[in-house]
Amino acid sequence: MVGGGLDAFIGGVHRMAANLDGQIELAAGCFSSDPEKSRRAGEALYLPASRVYSSFQEMAEREAALPENQRIDFVTVVTPNHMHAPVAACFLAHGFHVVCDKPMTFTLAEARALRETVHKSGKIFALTHNYTGYPMVKEAREIVRRGDLGEVLKIVAEYPQGWLLDRLEKGQKQAAWRTDPARAGATCCLGDIGSHAENLGRYITGLAIESVCAEFTTFLPGRPLEDDSNLLVRYKGGARGILYASQISCGEENNLTIRVYGTKGSLAWVQEQPNELKFQPKNEPARILRRGNGYLSDTAKKFTRLPAGHPEAFVEAFANLYKEIAAAIRDRIDGTPGGPYDFPTVDDGVYGMAFLETAVQSARSDAKWTAFLEA
C-alpha cells in the first residue's frame, strides 16, 4: 500500500476489504510522505521494518529487486489525487499490478497517459469505484440488461453529504486535501462523490454521456473549490439525466441514491439501505428485492456472502472488488485463462476524468451545453 497511514480513513477500509476473504495479505507499504509517519504506521500494522519504506520510489525499486516469491504481487494506491498517476506509473514500470482509488488521476491528460502506460505494461489495473461491488447494484444492472426496464429514458443520481457545511479544512486532514486544488484537482465535491454517482449510472445502464450542463457553487466564502454541484445530462441514444452532489446539505450523511426510469419499469437503490432494490414494473405493484434471496440473478448471488437478513454493506462491497482483483492476478500469475472479471478498469478511470473535466468546463462557461470530452 502507498498512502493510507494511521490518520487516513480510506486506507483502513481498503485493508479490511482486501483481507476479508483471506486471499490478500498486506506485505509492504509506504504509508506517508513523512518517513517517520510511514515507519509508525508499518509498526502498528505489524510489518517487518525492512518492508516499510520512506518513499514510493524506494518501495518500487526494492520490492522489484526481491525474489519473485517474496516481492509484493500488487500495490494499492490510496494517496490524495495528485499522487495517483506518478505512484501508479512507477509501480507499473517496475512490473507490478496496480489498484488505485478514484478519481484515477489529477487531470484527463494524466489519465490518457496512464492508460497508455497500463496497456504497454500488460499489467492489471483496477479502479476502486466501490459502490459497483454491492450485490443489489449488480442486480440492478442485470435487470437493465435483461430488458425488464425497456428503453432507458431517465437517470437520476444524487450524492448529498453535509460534513463540509463547517470549515473543517482548517484542521482535519480529510477535508484539507479535498478542498485544496493542488492536491484534489479542479473539483472538490464532484470529483470526490459526484464521480461515484456518475459511475453508478453508467455501470447500471451502460449509457455514455453526450453533453452536460453543470453549475458549481462554493457556499463557504474563501473555499477555493466547489462544495455543491448540479448537472443536467444528455446521454447518447436520447436518455436524459439529473446528477447532483453536495457536501453542504445539512443532515445528510452518505445518501447516494440512483433511480432509473424506462419504458417498461423503473428501479431505485439507496446506498444507506443497500440490501434492498425497488423494482417497479409498469402497471404492476412495486417489488422490493432483497439481497440473499434465491430469486435474484446469479450475478447478485455470486457477490453475496451472508444469508438473507444478515446485512452486508460498505466494506463487503469493497471486498467484492478485491475478490475479483485477486482472482485476476492469481490467474495471471498461474498463467491460466479466466474472467470476465467484474471490477472497474483504467478505461473507467479515463472516462471518469473526462466526465469531471467536461463538467468543470461547463461550470466555467456561459454556454448551456458542453460536449463530452473524448475519453
Q: What is the pLDDT of residues 292-305, one digit of tens each?
A: 999 999 999 999 99
Q: Determine contact, residues 152/261, Cβ cutoff 8 Å.
A: yes
For residues 202-210, give the mean pLDDT.
98
Q: What is the pLDDT of residue 325?
A: 98
Provide the pLDDT confidence category of residue 134 given band limits of 50, 70 and 90. Answer: very high
Sheet of strand 240-246, all strands in order from the earlier edge strand to the far edge: 287-290, 276-281, 265-270, 257-262, 152-160, 240-246, 228-235, 209-217, 370-371
Q: What is the pLDDT of residue 136?
A: 98
Superfamily assignment of 134-310+350-364 in CATH?
A: Dihydrodipicolinate Reductase; domain 2 (3.30.360.10)
pLDDT digits (tens, 9 = 90+) for 183-195: 999 999 999 999 9
Q: How far is residue 102's CA from residue 90's CA, in Å, rounded to a whole number?
A: 18
CATH architecture assignment, domain 2-123: 3-Layer(aba) Sandwich (3.40)
Q: How far is residue 333's CA from residue 358's CA, in Å, rounded to a whole number?
A: 38
Provide the pLDDT confidence category of residue 119 given band limits of 50, 70 and 90. Answer: very high
Q: What is the pLDDT of residue 298?
A: 97
For residues 123-132, give the mean pLDDT.
98
Start and end residues for every CATH 3.30.360.10 domain found in the chain = 134-310+350-364
Q: Determine contact, residues 256/193, Cβ cutoff 8 Å.
A: yes
* Residues counted in the chain: 375
Provide the pLDDT confidence category of residue 58 given band limits of 50, 70 and 90. Answer: very high
Start and end residues for every CATH 3.40.50.720 domain found in the chain = 2-123
Q: Determine contact, residues 197/258, Cβ cutoff 8 Å.
A: yes
End-to-end, the C-alpha distance of the chain in Å comes to 28
For residues 109-138, give the mean pLDDT.
98
Q: What is the pLDDT of residue 148?
A: 98
Mean residue pLDDT across the chain? 97
| Model confidence, pTM | 0.96
Q: How far is residue 364's CA from residue 40's CA, in Å, rounded to a whole number?
A: 43
pLDDT digits (tens, 9 = 90+) for 239-292: 999 999 999 999 999 999 999 999 999 999 999 999 999 999 999 999 999 999
Q: What is the pLDDT of residue 226?
A: 98
- Residue 306 sits at the vertex; the CA angle it makes with 157 and 308, to the nearest 5 degrees, is 75
Provide the pLDDT confidence category of residue 115 given band limits of 50, 70 and 90. Answer: very high
